[in-house]
Chains A and B, each alone.
Chain A
Amino acid sequence: MNWIIGALVFWAVMWVLNVKLSKGPQTRFISLLVPFIFGVTLLVLWEGIVRGFAISPILLPPPSAIGVRFANSLPILWVDFVQTFVKGAMSGYILGCGSAFLVAIAVDRSPFLQRGLLPVGNFVAALPIVGMAPILVMWFGFDWQSKAAVVVVMVFFPMLVNTVEGLKASDHMQRDLMQTYGASYWQGLAKLRLPAAMPFIFNGLKICSTLALIGAIVAEFFGSPIKGMGFRISTEVGRLALDMVWAEITVAALAGSAFYGAVALIEKAVTFWHPSQRG
């Protein structure tokens, strides 16, 4: 009982603190501190409730147990991370986004193809592409190649749609100006239209960064060598070792957030001129 009361009191105190902080002056430090406090509060609530109600660790292990397990099985987690993220997700992400970008440039000169590809691409982007995973595992075998293939298929269309949209982003006046300068098609593309497309391209890259990790992990449910995050999650669930599962989830969350953050940082450097980055 003490655990629950303690957690609730902690929650109340932190809530009041956050309300106070958010009403105060808005510095960079505060805008980082407030969500941090909220996150810590969630963890404390979780720990308190699990201990207070004596919830079996088979159902929901407390964060402390997950932390201990995480620290104790770093080598396994690292092997899984390399297999799934570095080999599967990253190679698929680079291949998929790269080829989508090249296709978008290739169809750029044909408005006919663009008008055809955009609706189809939008349609395919809304489809449950993860379902392709068993087929691709069948084609490319159990190792990371099939995972990369799933990621390629998943990221291709969102990236294509965003790049094609982006290449249309420069307006008539700007393109006319390039023409009065006597710029060739490729000069216009490199100097005006690609830079103007960057916000859209990075939007696509950000969406794809989360898709890539999901694709690589889910593909492992359909068959994988004896390492990999998806493999570990499905086998440890079978053994009811949920603390290990949560440790893998932590790795996935950290990797996903870091990946997203890295893309967002590059975006900030490349599209510094865009209104959304100046605010």
Chain B
Amino acid sequence: MKSFAPVLAVVSAIFVIWYGMAVVLNSTWAYDKAKRADVTLSFSEMVADTMVQKKPLLPAPHQVAAEIYKTTVLKKITSKRSLIWHGWITLSATLLGFAMGTGFGILLAVGIVHSRAMDMSVMPWVITSQTIPILAVAPMIIVVLNAVGISGLLPKAFISMYLSFFPVVVGMVKGLRSPDHMQMDQMRTWNALKPTMFWKLRLPSSMPYLFPSLKIAMAASLVGAIVGELPTGAVAGLGARLLAGSYYGQTIQIWSALISAAILAAALVALIGLLQNITLKRMGMLR
């Protein structure tokens, strides 16, 4: 809790800058309007106008908050204007992709740890795979999978999976190799088989490495799902809200989609943090 005050200070500084930027950026339009209506604006009138514009260059925080409130609480969940509905679509793709990515990543890590040939041949390519800007390929994957008849959740989930398996592989390989020589030798003196060694020693000791990777993977797969929604032609999801907003200049809508994506990311990462605490505490590993 000792970092509460500093964090509060930084966050409020961000809000102050945000309001300041809103005034600066939106003032041109406010003056323009006044000029056309043949009135001269005093400074305070100009500031007041920058806070309530319909399509501001940068909406003020309270406008975004009002929009989020309007599209979550006041709209029915089934309505296509409800952010919760759009958020759920993005969330389901994120979670599916995250699950597939984590599963694939762990399997790959197990293979890499147990087979020297796999370690040498696959590992460099796993690293190279991440220098490919997969998000740039996202439109193609979506279009191609659509052409084969796979549409809806899966294509987006594939992109999420591609982004999320990498941190899991790296973390798990490190984690599965973390038992030291003494511990491995001890298992060997008990004549433990490889599977026993895996379940009783390697897997438990990899847990502290797994969770931080999961956090990164979760954030990455949310980004993947959002970008995956861009090329589907702005049908549904937070990414679609972003695209539709940018087509029609609805800045408030863009910002509200952005902020809700941020809240979603924070909630998901916090959830994994909670799971981490519980698991590590029960395993007696929490420092």
Binding site for B on A (CB under 8 A): 15, 18-19, 21-23, 31, 34-35, 37-39, 42, 58-60, 112-120, 123, 126-128, 130-132, 134-135, 137-139, 209-210, 213-214, 217-218, 221-223, 229-230, 233-234, 237, 242, 245, 248-249, 252-253, 256-257, 259-260
Chain B 148-164 near chain A by CB (<8 Å), digits 1 or 0: 10000000000000000
Q: Mark interface residues in B126-150 (1 if CB within 8 Å of A CB, else 0).
A: 0010111111110110011001100
* B residues lining the A interface (CB < 8 Å): 2-3, 5-11, 14, 25, 57, 116-117, 119-125, 128, 130-137, 139-140, 143-144, 147-148, 215-216, 219, 222-223, 226-227, 230-231, 238-239, 242-243, 245-246, 249, 251, 254-255, 257-258, 261-262, 265-266, 269
Q: Are B133 and A213 within 8 A (Cβ)?
A: yes
A22-B117, A130-B227 known; 4 new pairs, CB 8 Å cut-off, are A38-B125, A113-B10, A128-B265, A217-B133
A137: B residues at CB distance < 8 A: 246
Find B130's partner among A128, A132, A210 (CB 8 Å cutoff). Answer: A210
Q: Which residues of A contact B133 (CB under 8 A)?
A: 210, 213-214, 217-218, 252, 256
Known A-B contacts A35-B124, A38-B122, A214-B135; the reply to A58 vs B258 at CB < 8 A is no
Smallest distance from the beta carbon of B214 to chain A beta carbons, Å? 12
Check B136–A135 contact: CB distance below 8 A: no
A256 surroundings in chain B (CB, below 8 A) = 131-133
**Chain B, Cβ-Cβ closest to A248:** B136
A252 and B121 contacting across the interface, CB-CB below 8 Å: no
Give the nearest-CB partner of A223 in chain B: B246
Contact between A237 and B231, CB atoms less than 8 A apart: yes
Q: How far is the CB of A131 from chain B (nearest CB, A)?
A: 5
Contact A116 B223 (CB under 8 A): no
Which secondary structure characterizes the binding site on chain B? Answer: helix
* Pick from A39, A119, A234: contact of B3, CB under 8 Å: A119
Could you tell me if A59 and B147 are in contact, using CB atoms closer than 8 angstroms?
A: yes
Contact status A221-B230, CB under 8 Å: yes
Q: A31 CA to B121 CA in the complex, in Å?
A: 8
Let me know if A242 and B131 touch, CB within 8 A. no
Show 29 residue pairs from A and B whose CB-CB distance is below 8 angstroms, ordered by the A residue. Answer: A22-B119, A35-B122, A35-B124, A38-B122, A39-B125, A59-B144, A59-B148, A116-B7, A117-B6, A117-B10, A126-B269, A128-B262, A130-B226, A131-B242, A131-B254, A135-B255, A138-B246, A138-B249, A138-B251, A139-B25, A218-B136, A230-B136, A237-B140, A242-B140, A249-B132, A249-B140, A256-B133, A257-B128, A257-B131
**A234 CB contact (under 8 Å) in B2, B14, B139:** B139
Judge whether B261 and A34 touch: CB under 8 Å. Answer: no
> Closest CB-CB distance, A235 to chain B, in whole Å?
10
The answer on a CB contact under 8 Å between A237 and B122 is no
Return chain B residues, CB-CB under 8 Å to A123: 266
Complex Cα spacing A256 to B128, Å: 9
Q: Which residue of B is nearest A245, CB measured?
A: B140
Given A113-B10, A130-B135, A131-B258, CB of A18 within 8 Å of CB of B117 = yes
